[in-house]
C-alpha cells in the first residue's frame, strides 16, 4: 500500500493505520506511520525526516558466559605459549639477559652463542641422527603392524577374535615401565644393547594405534568391501586399495602420535644404551644439563630448542591432517 502525500489523505491514512507507540529506533523521532506491505510493523518516516544509521551500526550484546569462556581460553593459551616463548627467547639471549631482574622478555642483542656452546658441549649431531633413525623406522614398523592388526580385527572372522581383541586392549591398562626389566633381559640376550634395533624392537606392538585404526575401519561401508570381494580382490588388495584410502586421515594421525611418542622417549633409550654415540636427543639434553650445571641456562635452552623444534615443525605442517583424523574418528559413518 502506498503512503499518501496529501495532508487530508495522510490524516485518514493515520486514522486507519495508527503508528506503533514509541520512537523510531533509528531517528529518535516519533514514528508517523507504518507500511502494511511490509508486515505492518515497519515505521515509515515523514517526508522531511532523515533516517541516519547509528555510529557503530547494529551492535550485538555479548553474553557474560561467553566472556568467561574467552578469558579461560586466553589463560590456557598463555599456560602453553609462555614457556615455549621463554625457551626460544632464552636460547637467543646472552647470559646477562637470561639472569637479569626484572625479567627481560625481549633481548636487544640476540646471539647464537648458546647454540654454539650446546653443540660444543654435547654431540647433538649424533643425537639427532639417532633420534631420526629410531623414530622414523620405529614408527613405520609399528604403524604397519597396527594397520594389519586393525584390519584383521575389523574384517576377518577368526576363532576367539573378541577375546584376543580384549586382551590387546587390556595391555593398554598396564604401565609401560612394567615390561622394562623383561625387555632389557630379552634385548641383552639377543646382543642388541647399544644398537638401533635394541631401541626400536620393544616398541613395535602398539594397542593404542591399533585401536584408533580399528575404530576408523569399522566405519567403512560393508557394501564397498563386498564389492571388492566380488571383483576378486584378496585381503591385501582390499587393505591397500579400499580401506587405507578411506582411513588415510586416521592413519596419518596415528602415525604422527606414534612418531611424537618415539621422538620424546627417554626411559627406554636411557636403559638400553650406555655410550654417547647411541644416545637420543632427550637423553642428550639431560647430558647437556649435567655438563653445564645451573650456570649456563642459555645453552640448555638452545639444546631444548633443537629437541623441540622438529616436533613443532611437524605439527604445524600436519595439523590439518591431525584435526581431520580426529574428526573422522569422532563421526559415525
C-alpha cell belonging to residue 137: 623406522
- The pLDDT of residue 110 is 79
Query: Using the 8-state DSSP alphabet, how is residue 31 labeled?
Result: P
Domain with 312 in it: what CATH number?
1.10.3720.10
Query: Do 76 and 167 belong together in one domain?
Result: no
Q: What is the pLDDT along the chain (333 residues), one digit of tens a residue?
A: 454 455 566 666 666 665 555 444 444 444 444 444 444 444 554 444 444 555 555 566 777 888 889 899 999 999 988 888 888 888 888 877 777 777 777 777 778 888 888 888 888 889 999 999 999 999 999 999 999 999 999 888 888 888 888 888 888 888 878 888 889 999 999 999 999 999 999 888 888 888 889 988 888 888 888 888 888 888 888 888 888 888 888 888 888 889 988 998 999 999 999 888 899 999 988 888 777 665 677 788 888 888 888 888 888 887 776 666 655 555 544
- The pLDDT of residue 135 is 93
Question: Which residues does residue 30 pair with via DSSP β-bridges, in sequence order?
Answer: 23
Query: Do 41 and 100 belong together in one domain?
Result: no
Query: Do 144 and 259 belong together in one domain?
Result: yes
Contact criterion met (CB below 8 Å) for 24 and 15: no
Contact criterion met (CB below 8 Å) for 270 and 281: no
Q: What whole-number distance in Å separates Cα of residue 133 and Cα of residue 92?
A: 29
Query: Do 27 and 74 belong together in one domain?
Result: no
C-alpha cell belonging to residue 53: 544509521
Query: Do 227 and 145 belong together in one domain?
Result: yes
- The pLDDT of residue 19 is 56
Task: Look up the domain containing 152 and give its range.
Answer: 116-330
Helix (H, G, I), strand (E, B) or coil at 298: helix
Query: Do 129 and 183 belong together in one domain?
Result: yes
| Backbone torsion region of residue 175, taken as left when φ is above 0, otherwise alpha when ψ lies between -120 and 50, otherwise beta | beta
SS3 for 256-302 is: HHHHHHHHCCCHHHHHHCCCHHHCCHHHHHHHHHHHHCCCCHHHHHH
- The pLDDT of residue 25 is 46
For residue 236, how many C-alpha atoms fall within 13 Å in the half-sphere facing its CB? 0
- The pLDDT of residue 148 is 92
Q: What whole-number distance in Å separates Cα of residue 286 and Cα of residue 292?
A: 10
- The pLDDT of residue 134 is 94
Query: Do 45 and 68 belong together in one domain?
Result: no
- The pLDDT of residue 327 is 59
Query: Do 73 and 54 belong together in one domain?
Result: no
- The pLDDT of residue 325 is 60
Query: Within 10 A of 285 (CB to CB), how many other CB atoms are there?
Result: 22
**pTM (predicted TM-score):** 0.70
Query: Do 122 and 104 belong together in one domain?
Result: no
- The pLDDT of residue 189 is 93
Query: Do 34 and 177 belong together in one domain?
Result: no
Query: Do 245 and 293 belong together in one domain?
Result: yes
Please give the tally of structural domains in the chain: 3
Query: Do 131 and 252 belong together in one domain?
Result: yes
- The pLDDT of residue 249 is 83
Amino acid at each position: 500500500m502506498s503512503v499518501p502525500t496529501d495532508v487530508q489523505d495522510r490524516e485518514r491514512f493515520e486514522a486507519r493505520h495508527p503508528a506503533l507507540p514509541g520512537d523510531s529506533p533509528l531517528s529518535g523521532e516519533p514514528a508517523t506511520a507504518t507500511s502494511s506491505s511490509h508486515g505492518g510493523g515497519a515505521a515509515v518516516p515523514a517526508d522531511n525526516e532523515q533516517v541516519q544509521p547509528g555510529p557503530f551500526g547494529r551492535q550485538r550484546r555479548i553474553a557474560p558466559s561467553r566472556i568467561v569462556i574467552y578469558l579461560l581460553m586466553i589463560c590456557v593459551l598463555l599456560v602453553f605459549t609462555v614457556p615455549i616463548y621463554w625457551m626460544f627467547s632464552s636460547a637467543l639471549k646472552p647470559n646477562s639477559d637470561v639472569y637479569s631482574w626484572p625479567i627481560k622478555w625481549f633481548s636487544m642483542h640476540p646471539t647464537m652463542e648458546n647454540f654454539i656452546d650446546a653443540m660444543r658441549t654435547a654431540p647433538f649431531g649424533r643425537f639427532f641422527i639417532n633420534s631420526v633413525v629410531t623414530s622414523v623406522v620405529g614408527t613405520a614398523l609399528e604403524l604397519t603392524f597396527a594397520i594389519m592388526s586393525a584390519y584383521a580385527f575389523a574384517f576377518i572372522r577368526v576363532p576367539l577374535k573378541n577375546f584376543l581383541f580384549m586382551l590387546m586392549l587390556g595391555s593398554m591398562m598396564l604401565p609401560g615401565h612394567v615390561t622394562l626389566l623383561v625387555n632389557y633381559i630379552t634385548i641383552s640376550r639377543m646382543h642388541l644393547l647399544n644398537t638401533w634395533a635394541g631401541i626400536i624392537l620393544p616398541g613395535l606392538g602398539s594397542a593404542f594405534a591399533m585401536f584408533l585404526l580399528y575404530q576408523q575401519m569399522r566405519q567403512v561401508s560393508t557394501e564397498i568391501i563386498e564389492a571388492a570381494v566380488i571383483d576378486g580382490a584378496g585381503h591385501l588388495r582390499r587393505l591397500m586399495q579400499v580401506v587405507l584410502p578411506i582411513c588415510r586421515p586416521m592413519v596419518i594421525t596415528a602415525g604422527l602420535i606414534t612418531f611424537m611418542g618415539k621422538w620424546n622417549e627417554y626411559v627406554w633409550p636411557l636403559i638400553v644404551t650406555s655410550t654417547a654415540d647411541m644416545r637420543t636427543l632427550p637423553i642428550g639434553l639431560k647430558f647437556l644439563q649435567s655438563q653445564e650445571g645451573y650456570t649456563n641456562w642459555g645453552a640448555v635452552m638452545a639444546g631444548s630448542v633443537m629437541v623441540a623444534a622438529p616436533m613443532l615443525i611437524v605439527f604445524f605442517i600436519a595439523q590439518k591432517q591431525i584435526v581431520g583424523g580426529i574428526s573422522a574418528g569422532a563421526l559415525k559413518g
